[in-house]
Structure 1
Amino acid sequence: IKITQNIGVTFIMTGQYADAINSFEHIMSLAPNLKAGFNLILSYFAIGDREKMKKAFQKLIAVPLEIDEDDKYISPSDDSHTNLVIEAIKNDHLRQMERERKAMAEKYILTAAKLIAPVIETSFAVGYDWCVEVVKASQYVELANDLEINKAITYLRQKDFNQAVETLKMFEKKDSRVKSAAATNLSFLYYLENEFAQASSYADLAVNSDRYNPSALTNKGNTIFANGDYEKAAEFYKEALRNDSSCTEALYNIGLTYKKLNRLDEALDCFLKLHAILRNSAQVLYQIANVYELMEDPSQAIEWLMQLISVVPTDSRALSKLGELYDSEGDKSQAFQYYYESYRYFPSNIEVIEWLGAYYIDTQFCEKAIQYFERASLIQPTQVKWQLMVASCFRRSGNYQRALDTYKDIHRKFPENVECLRFLVRLCTDIGLKEVQEYATKLKKLEKMKEIREQRIKSGRDSSGGARGKREGSAGSDSGQNCSASSKGERLSAKLRALPGTNEPYESSSNKEIDASYLDPLGPQIERPKTAAKKRIDEDDFADEQLGDDLLPE
């Protein structure tokens, strides 16, 4: 039988499934065993024969385990000699072998059911139901509940949450172990859907059914954590760890709890322990780096983030965080490298785009900043500041025609933007275009409208009466002014305001005459060295000067 079994396995390895089936069918007819039955199911699965898969599953279920019933291990209270014998054989080698054989049988049956259920019927649910019915009619009745829970988990994998919930709710009246497992899964499902009241009630049911279930305790801690009671949540996580020291979820969550409580040393200790268990977990590596950052130890944070990007090299958030840390340390070149890598993998992060644009302006490569501000204007088309920056970059790099076209385009999109009109008036004046008068007239109208608006606000403030009313009116007018400025994009972001010469916000003049002065959104240009400005000095100019001893030849 063993030789025939090895022949069958060899046929499977060489892909000769028909021959393998013959070998395993021969074994199952003569001396059925679990391995041969499982391999027979695999062979039928490989050739896609549904009916034969069903028959093979029934044969696997019917394999006799040859294990004594557990009743014989129950001690009668009156016979002391029998009690001693039973105590001696409760955990002897034979009993251990029986337990192993039973566990192996359950593993084969559950694996076979999970394998064939999706393919033996029209849908996986119908297939699972068939497997459950076959198992219920066999000696493995208790496995039927595990199969049902696996069915619910398969629904979860297929994102069918409603069916998963319906399947799990059937276990509310079952025995405590199965009820606890089902309630744990239900609690987790409701937690994911942000229904914390339901999640909490099922977590309570799971804990009451099995107080030593670490998953149930962890879920109960999660529901309390969501309500903001971090100290109590930590107690449940600790209890879960006492019941099962390898419960990584509880250890991770207790680390998050300590972070919330600002007990950073204890949080770091939890995550470092977790790192020893889960060596390459990206989440754990990030949490360690984050804790070091909160502890104001950027060098350690950078070191752990470097480990993180070795595990997930395409994570744009981790790369941008590295760039941010290097920037705070004053290492602009390294910061640029990681911000650029982050931009490559995710070119829609406004903060990264803004930093790269500001970096190129700071280093006087305005033409390179253009692509980043253009990208920002695509992401936020209603923000005028990005388009103004693109135009300023063109002007800075000497491409006045492109700058003019860009300002005209901005004016078409944002006709009430005063700053854009000022740039147009200035550019048209410099180039000598006739359109200058048209833009000057528009600018004058806008200035007048602004003046009228300001007068209305002032008169409304005066008519409100009372010191309190005046204060409220003033605050209201200020906030209204700020809102209008931000809505039109006339204020720079904090990053770009930090550049030299960009400390003042855009302000329109309240004079009645046209004021075409403007503030460059990129700040004042750095003066270039005037190498050809001075007159050439003749050698004779030095004739009257006396040379010092340090300049004379030795």
Structure 2
Amino acid sequence: MRGGDGSGGEMARPMTSVRAAGYSSRGRAGMTVGQAFDPFHQGRESSAGGAYHKLEETPEEQIRYLERKVNLLIEDSTTLAAAGNLRAALEKAKEAGKKERQLSRQREQLELGDQMNLDLTYCVLFNLANQYQRNQLYQEALNTYGVIVKNKLFNQSGRLRVNMGNIYFEQKKYSQAVKMYRMALDQISNVNKDIRLKIMRNIGNAFIRMGQFQDAITSFEAIMEGSPDYHAGFNLILCYFALGDRDRMKRSLQRLMAIRPPAIEQNEDFGATLSDEPIEDHEVFDEDELRAIARQRQQAGERCIVLAAKLVAPSIENTFSVGYDWIVEAIKASPHAAIASEIEIAKAIQYLRAKDFTKAVETLKMFEKTDQKMIGTAATNLSFLYFLDGDYKQAEKYAELAITTDRYNAKAQTNRGNCYFVKKNFVKAKDHYQQAINVDAVCTEAMYNLGLVNKELGLHLEALQAFEKLYAILRDSAEVIFQIADIYDKQGNLQQAMEWFNILISVVPTDPGVLARLGDMFVRDGDKSQAFQYYSESYRYFPSNMDVLAWLGAYYVECEVYEQAVQFFERAVTIQPAQVRWQLMIASCYRRSGNYQQSFETYKRINEKFPDNVECLRFLVRICTDLGMKEVHQYAEKLARTERAKELAQAEATSGAPPRDSTPVKSSREGRPSATSREDSADGDRGLVRSKKVMIREPEAVEKIDPNPQVRRPQTSSKSRGMDADDFHEDVNSLLPE
């Protein structure tokens, strides 16, 4: 059929009652933005191309288009903020603000001011203020919030003073925060009870930060009377604790315990069958987000009760044990009776802090028969206690019990490994430490002990890896740093060892053992000036270390500064008066410095105290001969008698016959370091060979000192002065360390 206009053009669309009105299942998808409704093709051009003429957008449509763009920018800003990209979120919020201002100007130009979208303006400003606050641009956020709250056209804008108060709270301007909270409280009706209570909690927290506990009590008391809350109750107890009000602490703790936990309903299909089993068995079936939130709130409430109980137990009664007993009885009568065992554990730990191990063991042993749920925790603590007491058999027993109760208990695995460690079964100890780390990747005790056991097994590379991982967690642990440095030293990597010992000194700058160890390493490296510096620092902090005294004395002898050397040897005599070596060194220093008379007097006193010392008699004969003194014959005869007695004693000892004289003959070997000097050296390292958390002593953490060292005297310029070969040989060569 031809068109009705008779022009022979294209065929017209059939006219129907539905399609002619423009309604179809396809809708108006083919129409462009701003295209007018034209069912009769009246707007079609007469050109051969048949294109549509695009009508100009109306002002209302332009406004709606800009509003959509602003909304999209706000959505992008909030999405970026939720993803953690705060800077990009702020940029989007600023762009939304610019678009909104452009929209307002366009409304004014088109004289559409009566169509102002207040909700959009409020949303833009509120989002911008939020993004400023998230980026810690607090002043800009306050200014933006101020624009909102001062605009009377915005309904309920006064609530945003809570946000302004939060900003002041973060800035530690607590008085201004309280002012804002109270202004917000005045503008919120009593109908919104929950919001008012939350604002009152913020006011109480601000008063606590300012130290105004009585004002804080007023806010928290109002909360506990209106709608009891765990956090408000805990803060109320803190305030009464700060004021020392014992009776109110008790009452507040009872009110805190009386708060009922959120009900965690079970599924009807599984609740009846699994109600007596632990939560882990059925939470696979019954867990959902709401139930998880309820469980988290219940755990947070129980934690508040436990913390409050630990805080006030020593204060509400004359002794902490009586206080804990009162709290346990009160909890058993409350809806939170399940956590009474946890309070008993806290009581046992308090006994440990008071070093009353007997009471602690008695308290923990009660769990073997009473509470099967807490038996694993109690057994772990009992194992630790028996290990400290040296009863390794009982420690092993309770460690096994704890592992049997819960094989994923990292602390129990660590304690079991400790028992194997002291029995020197390092392979099994390593296995238990590794299991503890597999269960708890940040179990620092197991990681430290794993490094120790690898060190004992000679696996220095594995030990180093374990300690370096632990160092990433405990940056300021002196024990960990010492172990790393010690391993590098044992591997022969002297430079790395010295670097780590320098790090250790930055953590414990006054530890004499570390300073002495670093001095010894510089001696091995050939830098005696640096070694002298560290040995001097070690002597300053611990002037009784015999090895440090001997090295410093030898250093001054080598430098021919005999007056300084005498000071160190005199201190050594004070510490070890029965050791002849130090007194011989003093006399030798006087002789080397040319003070022969003082040297003679010193040798004479030594001979009176040690009449059988051959070295002293030889030098007395030598000095008397050089000075032409008449006592030379007396000392020569005494030297001959002493040497003959020594030879006879050696002959009798060789033949197996008992010596005629039961008094042992003193020899020059008495001047060598005794076991006491080794103990002194160990004391110097006493701060570095213990783990903070596990009572295992590292056998090789202290540098071993041979009680009979075969060492040479430091090279000095004595031979250059033409002295005899034995002038300073007998009393120094075997006495001074390198």
Asked if these proteins are the same fold (TM beyond 0.5), I'd say yes
Relative to structure 1, is the Cα distance of residues 431 and 135 closer, same or farther in structure 2, using a 3 angstrom cutoff? Answer: farther
**Structure 1 CA distance for aligned equivalents of residues 220 and 628 of structure 2:** 95
Amino acid at match of 1:213: N
Q: Which residue of 2 aligns with 1:499?
A: 714
**Structure 1 CA distance for aligned equivalents of residues 368 and 715 of structure 2:** 68
Q: Which residue of 2 aligns with 1:531?
A: none
Structure 1 residue 205 displacement after superposition: 0.7
Relative to structure 1, is the Cα distance of residues 120 and 437 closer, same or farther in structure 2, using a 3 angstrom cutoff? Answer: farther
**Structure 1 CA distance for aligned equivalents of residues 728 and 532 of structure 2:** 31
- The answer to whether residue 679 in structure 2 is matched with residue 486 in structure 1 is no
Structure 1 residue 77 displacement after superposition: 7.8
Worse overlay, 62-71 or 196-205: 62-71
Q: Which residue of 2 aligns with 1:280?
A: 476
Q: Which residue of 2 aligns with 1:110?
A: 306
Q: Find the partner of 2:544 among 339, 348, 361.
A: 348
* 1:293-336 residue CA offsets vs partner (Å, 9 max, x unmatched): 22221111111111111121122222222112221122212222
**Structure 2 CA distance for aligned equivalents of residues 203 and 88 of structure 1:** 30
Q: Which residue of 1 aligns with 2:248?
A: 52
CA contact (8 A) 2:249 2:316 kept: yes
Amino acid at match of 1:522: V
- Equivalent position SS for 2:374: helix
CA contact (8 A) 1:422 1:517 kept: no
* 1:170-197 residue CA offsets vs partner (Å, 9 max, x unmatched): 1122445411111111111111222211
Q: Which residue of 1 aligns with 2:117?
A: none
The two structures, once aligned, show a CA RMSD in angstroms of 3.2
Q: Which residue of 1 aligns with 2:588?
A: 392
CA contact (8 A) 1:373 1:386 kept: yes
Q: Which residue of 1 aligns with 2:41?
A: none
* 1:3-45 residue CA offsets vs partner (Å, 9 max, x unmatched): 3323333332232323332332232222221122111111111
**Structure 2 CA distance for aligned equivalents of residues 490 and 226 of structure 1:** 30
Alignment of 1:84-483 (within 5 A): 90-433=286-629, 435-436=631-632, 438-454=634-650, 456-457=652-653, 460-461=655-656
CA contact (8 A) 1:89 1:95 kept: no
Relative to structure 1, is the Cα distance of residues 405 and 123 closer, same or farther in structure 2, using a 3 angstrom cutoff? Answer: farther
CA contact (8 A) 2:482 2:501 kept: yes
Q: Which residue of 2 aligns with 1:469?
A: none
Amino acid at match of 2:307: T
Name structure 2 gaps, 5 residues minimum. 1-196, 275-281, 675-706, 717-725
* 1:244-294 residue CA offsets vs partner (Å, 9 max, x unmatched): 212122122122111111122211121222222222222111111122122
Amino acid at match of 2:503: Q
Q: Which residue of 2 aligns with 1:539?
A: none
Relative to structure 1, is the Cα distance of residues 177 and 345 closer, same or farther in structure 2, using a 3 angstrom cutoff? Answer: farther
**Structure 2 CA distance for aligned equivalents of residues 56 and 126 of structure 1:** 18
- Equivalent position SS for 1:142: helix
**Structure 1 CA distance for aligned equivalents of residues 485 and 390 of structure 2:** 28
**Structure 2 CA distance for aligned equivalents of residues 249 and 348 of structure 1:** 33
CA contact (8 A) 2:266 2:286 kept: no
* 1:353-412 residue CA offsets vs partner (Å, 9 max, x unmatched): 222222222222222222222222222221110111122112222333433333333233
**Structure 1 CA distance for aligned equivalents of residues 565 and 326 of structure 2:** 64
**Structure 1 CA distance for aligned equivalents of residues 490 and 545 of structure 2:** 23
- Equivalent position SS for 2:522: helix
* 1:414-447 residue CA offsets vs partner (Å, 9 max, x unmatched): 2322322333343344445555555445444434
More helix by share: 1
- Equivalent position SS for 1:415: coil
Amino acid at match of 1:233: A
**Structure 1 CA distance for aligned equivalents of residues 406 and 285 of structure 2:** 28
Amino acid at match of 1:486: R
Relative to structure 1, is the Cα distance of residues 172 and 485 closer, same or farther in structure 2, using a 3 angstrom cutoff? Answer: farther
Name structure 1 gaps, 5 residues minimum. 79-85, 465-472, 502-515, 525-554
Relative to structure 1, is the Cα distance of residues 398 and 457 closer, same or farther in structure 2, using a 3 angstrom cutoff? Answer: same
Relative to structure 1, is the Cα distance of residues 362 and 445 closer, same or farther in structure 2, using a 3 angstrom cutoff? Answer: same
Q: Which residue of 2 aligns with 1:522?
A: 732
- Equivalent position SS for 2:323: helix
**Structure 1 CA distance for aligned equivalents of residues 343 and 253 of structure 2:** 14
**Structure 1 CA distance for aligned equivalents of residues 293 and 481 of structure 2:** 42
Q: Which residue of 2 aligns with 1:36?
A: 232
Structure 1 residue 200 displacement after superposition: 0.7
CA contact (8 A) 1:132 1:144 kept: yes
Relative to structure 1, is the Cα distance of residues 441 and 64 closer, same or farther in structure 2, using a 3 angstrom cutoff? Answer: same
- Equivalent position SS for 2:337: coil
CA contact (8 A) 1:155 1:161 kept: yes
**Structure 1 CA distance for aligned equivalents of residues 454 and 556 of structure 2:** 41
CA contact (8 A) 1:419 1:490 kept: no
Q: Which residue of 1 aligns with 2:216?
A: 20
CA contact (8 A) 1:348 1:379 kept: yes
**Structure 2 CA distance for aligned equivalents of residues 89 and 483 of structure 1:** 85
CA contact (8 A) 2:379 2:398 kept: yes
Q: Which residue of 2 aligns with 1:468?
A: none
CA contact (8 A) 2:396 2:419 kept: yes
User: Which structure has the bigger radius of gyration?
Assistant: 2
Amino acid at match of 1:400: Y
Relative to structure 1, is the Cα distance of residues 409 and 69 closer, same or farther in structure 2, using a 3 angstrom cutoff? Answer: farther
Q: Which residue of 2 aligns with 1:68?
A: 264
Aligned length: 488
**Structure 2 CA distance for aligned equivalents of residues 267 and 280 of structure 1:** 19
Instruction: State percent identity of aligned pairs.
Output: 50
TM-score normalised to structure 2 length: 0.61
